[in-house]
């Protein structure tokens, strides 16, 4: 390809991500169809981006990688970056492994770059650490809005949040009718309907709960089965 038709590094990244946007297309529906066809849905992906939040996160990682490749290896065009994708992405992951980044961060970087270059086998020779529940950190240090919070005064609420795995924004959106103590759809288990603060689809956070169920809703809701703890 002649230089006049080559894409600059960052522009190439942005245009590739633009081409992968599928806002309004249900990832959950695509996963259901794949399950009905008998396909494995472990680490399922459609190969596209279905939410603005995912776009934001993946774009940040992709641009950071592109700038690193430029500064470290002198890569200036997106086409060269794509040709050397496995080599450079693997070196990039090894860099973060050496820095002892969390398993979640490493897997997000890998997912972002695999999507960017449309190659699920990218970096397959790089072994990542397993995610462990006890290593998950949701907050990095004390926050100003928690300064006057007294956990002993809110034990029932904390038990409820611990049982359901709700995030702060999700808990604020709950209504009384969202909690069903004996849900007939789920064998009499207690379920909570969770409304998404942004359209990320009907995803289940398996790292937060041990037993979950979900039901597709037109307004991006999900059902989570509470754990055995009382609340």
- What DSSP string describes 198-212? S---S---TTT-SS-
**Could you tell me where the beta strands, DSSP code E, fall in the chain?**
179-183, 189-195, 221-225
> At residue 166, does pLDDT exceed 70?
yes
More confident residue, 36 or 212: 36
Instruction: Give the residue extent of every domain in the chain.
Output: 3-132, 154-225
Tens-place pLDDT, residues 99-111: 999 999 999 999 9
Q: What are the structure tokens assigned to 80, written together?
A: 């060269």
> At residue 202, does pLDDT exceed 90?
no
What's the whole-model pTM score?
A: 0.58
Q: How far apart, in Å, are the Cα atoms of 24 and each of 29, 35, 71, 104, 216?
A: 11, 21, 37, 26, 14
Q: What are the structure tokens assigned to 59, written together?
A: 């774009």
Q: What local confidence, expressed as pLDDT, does residue 175 receive?
A: 83
């Amino acid at each position: 390809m002649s230089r006049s038709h080559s894409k600059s590094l960052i522009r190439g990244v942005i245009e590739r991500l633009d081409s992968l946007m599928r806002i309004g297309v249900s990832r959950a529906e695509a996963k259901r169809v794949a399950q009905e066809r008998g396909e494995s849905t472990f680490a399922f992906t459609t190969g596209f981006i279905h939410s603005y939040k995912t776009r934001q996160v993946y774009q940040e990682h992709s641009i950071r990688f592109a700038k690193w490749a430029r500064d470290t290896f002198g890569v200036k065009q997106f086409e060269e970056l794509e040709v050397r994708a496995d080599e450079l992405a693997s070196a990039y992951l090894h860099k973060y492994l050496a820095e002892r980044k969390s398993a979640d961060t490493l897997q997000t970087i890998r997912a972002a770059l695999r999507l960017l270059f449309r190659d699920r086998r990218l970096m397959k020779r790089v072994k990542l650490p397993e995610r462990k529940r006890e290593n998950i950190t949701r907050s990095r240090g004390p926050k100003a809005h928690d300064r006057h919070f007294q956990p002993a005064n809110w034990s029932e609420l904390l038990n409820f949040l611990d049982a359901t795995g709700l995030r702060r924004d999700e808990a604020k959106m709950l209504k009384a009718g969202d909690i069903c103590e004996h849900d007939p759809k789920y064998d009499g288990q207690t379920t909570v309907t969770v409304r998404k603060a942004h359209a990320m689809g009907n995803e289940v956070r398996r790292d937060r709960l041990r037993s979950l169920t979900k039901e597709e809703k037109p307004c991006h809701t999900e059902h989570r089965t509470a754990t055995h703890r009382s609340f």
